[in-house]
Structure 1
Amino acid sequence: MELDFEQLAPDDRYKILTSTIVPRPIAWVTTLSKNGVGNTAPFSFFNAMSKAPPLLALGLQADSDGSMKDSARNILDTGEFVVNLVPSAAIEAMNLTSIDAPPDIDELALAGLETVASTKVRPRRIAVSPVAFECRLHTPLEVAKNQLVVLGEIVAAHVDDAFILDAEKFYVDTLRLGLVGRMHGGGWYCAPNASSAFQVERPAPFATRANASTLPEQKR
């Protein structure tokens, strides 16, 4: 099948991209608004781009109502963000932070996640993440209305000592990190320590959750 991307509808292009470019690493991004409100969200249009300067790229789609996502707005407003990588043990918490919540809701608090102070930027790191990259905004590209491709320069990296094989040679036990990758369709993922791909249902929009009793017990 040959596909003319110049003729395909955006949603159909998205289906092809996300079902073929797999697995994709997940950037679990923490930011702060200009008023100091925390925001956390996962993005799988993400990867490393360069070593000198050390750059990574995030693809931040417009929100479902066509507005700019909170993460994108916060990055533009403050010039700072942290990319946390997602271990298998945190898949449910990561999924919960993908909830469609108002800008004044801190998804980290909603998911009951502990944080650690960053060293060079204001947004905090997610404690359960074995790898985190503190970033400053290098280049923002608004490729469509309210849709950004963000290049971030890594100014500090954190790797849990438990996964360091040789500190002098910077060798990391990559497979033991157990990092989750995004697969295709409605909530499919993979991980090195999983025997096969697995599915996690995306949480209902925040507006449908009347109170904390609707949240999973372990996230309260």
Structure 2
Amino acid sequence: MVFYEPGVTDHGLPHDPFKACVVPRPIGWISTRNSDGSANLAPYSQFNNLTFDPPYVMFSANQKPSDSGRKDSTVNAEREGEFCWSLATYDLREAVNRTAEQVPYGVDVFELAGLSKVQGNLVKAPMFKELPVKG
């Protein structure tokens, strides 16, 4: 057994294995509304439900790799006070990968990935229409 301290221990791997230590890990597809009204959609592996009574869902975002700025999903969720989540499925893995791309703010990521959207019932953020699990 080897002692491993995330971000400190030299593990010799191309990427820090911390995220890979918890499996299986659901991928939350987080949708928000940009300030210009366009739709943002991004996958987050640091996502899960926290409680069911009342129901809480969380996601955690690192900085953008390009400029270390805050990710659009975080900025939008804080500004609007809301976000929607969908559970990404294996059948849609290509679309999930497409929505993980870094694109300029204001690009409608649903359109970019060829996904249909539906307006949320209680929130302004859109959701991926065809997924059976969304909220």
TM-score range, shorter chain: 0.7 to 0.9
Residue 129 of structure 2 corresponds to residue 127 of structure 1: yes
Partner of 1:43: 44
Question: Is the 8 Å Cα contact of residues 40 and 109 (structure 2) preserved in structure 1?
Answer: yes
Partner of 1:16: 17
- Report the Cα offset of residue 6 of structure 1: 7.3
Residue 88 of structure 2 corresponds to residue 86 of structure 1: yes
Higher RCO (CA < 8 A, seq sep 6+)? 2
Unaligned runs of 5+ residues in structure 2 are none
TM-score normalised per structure 2: 0.87
Higher strand fraction (1 or 2): 1
Q: What CA distance in whole angstroms lies between the structure 1 residues aligned with 2:38 and 2:107?
A: 8
Give secondary structure in 2 for the equivalent of 1:25: coil
RMSD value, Cα: 1.8
Q: What CA distance in whole angstroms lies between the structure 1 residues aligned with 2:7 and 2:124?
A: 41
Partner of 2:104: 102
TM-score normalised per structure 1: 0.55
Give secondary structure in 2 for the equivalent of 1:80: coil
Deviations 1:82-132 (A, max 9, x none): 101122321111111111100121111011111112100011110121100
Aligned length: 130
Q: What CA distance in whole angstroms lies between the structure 2 residues aligned with 1:33 and 1:72?
A: 11
Give secondary structure in 2 for the equivalent of 1:96: helix
Partner of 2:32: 31
Partner of 1:118: 120
User: Structure 1 vs Structure 2: percent identity of aligned residues?
Assistant: 30
Question: Is the 8 Å Cα contact of residues 26 and 42 (structure 1) preserved in structure 2?
Answer: yes
